[in-house]
Structure 1
């Protein structure tokens, strides 16, 4: 029988009846590491507030079509009649009104609020999809490298070092236009799905290395433990060793790494969109909105304020929740 390290907590409960007729009983309730982490997380105010913010952002992103229907505007619809002769929005604060909650884009006259809603949807989809793919690749390669060792571990380490040595920004700048020309040539507008897929692929190529090294180190520390040796001595196969013995004991650091990878991909997507890589101007994106707002910093500061403060709040909430999750999953934490 294989044993894995489990942290338990015993709570004494004393029950007494009315009038002292019922005897007092003492019981002990054990808690799993997941239950302990959940208790710590609920007691952490920072985790509760940041988690509530993340739930709000996710709900807004998922409900984007419903919000568009209720708002009555699409992200590509233009309101040229609400612009003056210079292409600037009429009214105060960039055209903020009851009809256009966050105003209009100078020049094109598109509604900023509905484009931010879809921009949030784009950023979260790219970041979460890339984080899932990179985490899966990192877990697979790191687990195999750490458990098998030998030449396989050496090859994975060599590939990891090679990937880390590649300049991410230069490769992204060179790879994205090349793929676009390969599939679209000199034709018209590149589809939004293609741009999103290219960004996810670029992040997947470069983003798995940190998770792979983290998992490899954890597996190397676990593979000589008694429960692993017992399972190996009993004739357990490779699949059983990986999925039943090793992976259940490394989920905590992997979960923390995933929670911290999502905001990293959000800022990377915004940065690449800012310099015109990946997503076209037709696809709602915080990076493209902030890029277009640079020409109107003095005349229309509201244009950069709304998308800028939103992406700041999104990344900040993810980072705070990731830190709180790391503390909650740490058995030695006093929080």
Structure 2
């Protein structure tokens, strides 16, 4: 857990500090294309003379924002479906779990490509909204969240099935508490641990999915930087300027590793058997 927290803290510090210490990420100067690392440009410059460190910082902020928003939305959807299935049981449980199984059975990458390729303007969204940076970040988050909730739903359902048979839940039902109150006040707090762990572990996977979509040109699109589209831009010059691909690739690797280590640490820390022992 300490290793994951340290890596995560270093990444967040870099993302927050770099914009104050480096040039603007969109500042171009063709006279300094492919410059090696220097005091003025610590990580060098890209094919348009932009500072790689500044682009990396902006890409980190965008990629982490997409991952955080997606993980929260997926956790909310999965928690709602898992609570309803676990508490009510019977037909509701069977229907919701078959829905979950159906989503899990879909081919992930082709489905995401189809959803990402849809033109928002043709769906009736105003051009002013679809051209904003906020929409550019929110769009891939919504797309990935549509399929990222299934793991949380199954975990919450399993935990809710265990909790609903306990005495305090039966007592609340006997006193006339509504199902909604029982789920929010008595079941949800007791299934929070697996939700936190699953959400933390999912962040690394979401970053990989977002990077893959951006690499294919279907996620975050230039001029806004993300680690995925930075890799796309480096494809044609990977042999002549390998640092253009190395830095975003290393950032993705370190971030995914950090979140996975953090999730593993939280899983051990919140393990009921460990706490009771």
Q: Please, what is the CA RMSD of the aligned residues? A: 2.3
1:263 is aligned to 2:214:
no
Instruction: Check whether the contact 1:180–1:190 (CA below 8 A) recurs between aligned residues.
Output: no
1:246 is aligned to 2:246:
no
Instruction: Check whether the contact 2:11–2:255 (CA below 8 A) recurs between aligned residues.
Output: yes
From 15, 18, 21, the equivalent of 1:70 is 21
165-174 or 111-120: bigger deviation = 165-174
Superposed displacement of residue 224, structure 1:
1.4
- Provide, for residues 20-52 of structure 1, a one-character-per-residue CA deviation record: whole Å limited to 9, x for no partner: xxxxxxxxxxxxxxxxxxxxxxxxxxx123212
| Distance of 2:182 and 2:218 partners within structure 1 | 42
- Provide, for residues 124-174 of structure 1, a one-character-per-residue CA deviation record: whole Å limited to 9, x for no partner: 100010000110111111101111122222221222122122222112212
From 56, 67, 70, the equivalent of 2:10 is 56
- Provide, for residues 67-123 of structure 1, a one-character-per-residue CA deviation record: whole Å limited to 9, x for no partner: 43432x21111111113xxxxx24xxxx211111101112x1211000000111001
1:327 is aligned to 2:277:
no
Aligned match of 2:97: 157
| Distance of 1:330 and 1:255 partners within structure 2 | 12
| Distance of 1:191 and 1:170 partners within structure 2 | 26
From 48, 57, 60, the equivalent of 1:120 is 60
| Distance of 1:274 and 1:171 partners within structure 2 | 16
Aligned match of 1:135: 75
Aligned match of 2:169: 228
1:79 is aligned to 2:19:
no
From 297, 300, 306, the equivalent of 2:238 is 297
1:212 is aligned to 2:153:
yes
| Distance of 1:305 and 1:177 partners within structure 2 | 28
277-286 or 228-237: bigger deviation = 228-237
State the aligned residue count.
Answer: 274
Q: TM-score, normalised by structure 1?
A: 0.76
Q: Which runs of 5+ in 1 are unaligned?
A: 1-46, 84-88
| Distance of 1:146 and 1:54 partners within structure 2 | 34
Superposed displacement of residue 184, structure 1:
8.7
| Distance of 1:256 and 1:333 partners within structure 2 | 15
Q: Secondary structure at the match of 1:77?
A: coil
Larger radius of gyration: 1
From 40, 49, 54, the equivalent of 1:109 is 49
Higher helix share: 2
1:316 is aligned to 2:257:
yes
Aligned match of 1:15: none
Q: Secondary structure at the match of 2:42?
A: coil
| Distance of 2:271 and 2:75 partners within structure 1 | 20
